[in-house]
């Protein structure tokens, strides 16, 4: 399992990804992997600067990683993107009833029964580092979406764990599950890369590009 060397927790933050990108600009870096978790984001975003609402009870987290430590090269970034998506998907899959249909909406979303439950944003602020941002609708209810976000989401099907299960989910357990899943998927990048592609194809519900940007 990925061993987190530094962790921060916030009740509220603008963006967990942006926070880690600022940290990676420092001349002396903290120990990585570096995990930032927030109960709520005020400026959460997705790919292409799309809005990502992170209401109270959602899971918003970002993980700063070093390519060399992971034994990865920049040419592995497309596989890393698929591995991250599969890790999120499998984390969610393990916590929902089998009758719920779950799929990857490439490049960066996970859907349950045709409704978006998670968004993933991978950024590469330096040639050596990645920031993996994950947002999952967990205990946040959709009727709580604030007015400033309603226009963005009113015509988009979205869901959350609490909407599906009608009970709260332990977010700390989801974080641990995700780190375990991510560790397994990252190991497969070098051990069985074609299996990652096949898995992504199996779960894929739409086509697209690769969810990372070099800033």
Q: What is the pLDDT of residue 208?
A: 46
pLDDT of residue 108: 83
Say which CATH topology domain 6-210 has: BirA Bifunctional Protein; domain 2 (3.30.930)
DSSP state of 49: G
CB 116 within 8 A of CB 161: no
Q: Taking CA 20 as the corner, what is the angle to CA 186 and CA 30, rounded to the nearest 5 degrees?
A: 85
Q: Where does the pLDDT of residue 156 fall: very low under 50, low under 70, confident under 90, or very high at 90 and above?
A: confident
Q: Where do the domains of the chain lie? A: 6-210
- Judged by average pLDDT, the poorest of 23-32, 83-92, 199-208 is 199-208
Neighbours of 163 (CB within 10 A): 17
CB distance 162 to 168 below 8 Å: yes
What is the per-residue pLDDT across 171-185, written as a single tens digit (0 to 9) for each? 999 999 999 999 999
What value does the mean pLDDT of the chain take? 87
């Amino acid at each position: 399992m990925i061993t987190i060397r530094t962790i921060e927790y916030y009740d509220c933050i603008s963006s967990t990804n942006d926070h880690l990108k600022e940290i990676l600009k420092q001349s002396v870096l903290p120990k990585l992997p570096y995990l930032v978790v927030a109960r709520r984001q005020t400026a959460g975003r997705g790919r292409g600067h799309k809005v990502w609402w992170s209401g109270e009870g959602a899971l918003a987290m970002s993980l700063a990683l070093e390519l060399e430590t992971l034994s990865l090269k920049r040419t592995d970034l497309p596989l890393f993107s698929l591995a991250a998506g599969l890790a999120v998907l499998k984390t969610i899959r393990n916590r929902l009833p089998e009758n719920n249909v779950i799929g990857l909406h490439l490049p960066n979303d996970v859907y349950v029964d045709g409704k978006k439950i998670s968004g993933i944003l991978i950024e590469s602020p330096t040639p050596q580092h990645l920031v993996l941002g994950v947002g999952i609708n967990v205990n946040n209810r959709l009727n709580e979406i604030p007015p400033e976000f309603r226009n963005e989401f009113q015509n988009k099907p979205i869901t959350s764990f609490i909407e599906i299960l009608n009970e709260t989910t332990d977010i700390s357990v989801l974080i641990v599950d995700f780190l375990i899943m991510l560790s397994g998927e990252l190991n497969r990048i070098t051990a069985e890369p074609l299996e990652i592609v096949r898995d992504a194809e199996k779960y894929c519900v739409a086509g697209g590009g690769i969810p990372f940007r070099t800033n």
